[in-house]
Amino acid sequence: ALKYLIPVTSKHAIRKSGLTPIHSAADGQNSQCLELLIDNGFDVNALLADHISQSYDDERKTALYFAVSNNDIHCTEVLLAAGADPNLDPLNCLLVAVRANRHEIVRLLLSYGANVNCYFMHVNDTRFPSAIQYALNDEVMLRLLLNNGYQVGLCFDCMHGDIFGNSFFCEFITVPWMKHLVGSTVRILIDYMDYVPLCSKLKSVLELQKEWPEIRQI
């Protein structure tokens, strides 16, 4: 039925509605409709109207975001192959996929130019790019980010007492419910740096970890 509706559908009416058929197909996980719409020239980078975007807590904008948040690898691949930009949403699609532990979707997004060093400023203001905080319990995911250019140096760029209120990695990972990950995480991170400057806060916690003797020797 869709192929008969496309020729008689008013582009003006679509723009006025603020929601494109591309968004609807991605949200409904209908890859066949998505491919038909793309073949008929619908824009894979069309954005939701502000009033619709703001009705979502994450203020999503793109059809790709719907596909990624649905963990729909087929629609994600169709959209990316057709030129969808993975960096248009306030909450980057990559962060959604990393947080959901979707390794295959993360690989896809990175291969199509997703920004591994993106930030989500609506939630926090960290000195280090946001993705790593969702990957600390998953070495495969963590190395996937690091192997694709994650700026690991920013995790060790500490300025305690920063007047701008930035949250530093040493503060993030040494809270009581995270500090058990300090040793294993830092051991992985130092594989990607020539020199690792350990601040006093991070070092004091590391010294209590089983990985410390090895880290100290590197």
Residues 6+ apart with CB under 8 A from 134: 95, 98, 99, 141
CB 130 within 8 A of CB 99: no
The domain locations on the chain are 1-115, 116-218
pLDDT, residue 178, reads 92
Nearest by Cα to 23 from 44, 39, 6, 38 = 44
Query: For residues 160 and 201, what is the distance between their CA atoms, to the nearest angstrom?
Result: 9
Amino acid identity, position 10: S
Q: Could you give the dihedral angle defined by the CA atoms of residues 116, 97, 85 and 80, in that order, rounded to the nearest 10 degrees? A: 120
State which CATH number among 3.40.50.150, 1.25.40.20, 3.30.1330.10, 1.20.1250.20 fits the domain covering 1-115. 1.25.40.20
The pLDDT tens digits for 1-34 are 455 445 545 465 456 557 899 999 999 999 999 9
pLDDT, residue 4, reads 42
Burial label for 101, CB within 10 Å (0-12, 13-18, 19+), is middle
Amino acid identity, position 152: V
Q: Find the range with the poorest average confidence among 145-149, 167-171, 177-181, 206-210.
A: 167-171
Higher-confidence residue of 86 and 6: namely: 86
The pLDDT tens digits for 176-218 are 999 999 999 999 999 999 888 898 999 999 999 999 999 988 8
Query: For residues 209 and 106, what is the distance between their CA atoms, to the nearest angstrom?
Result: 30
Tell me the CA distances in angstroms from 46 to 11, 75, 144, one per residue in order. 12, 15, 29
**189-198 CB burial, b ≥16 within 10 A, e <16:** bbebeeebeb
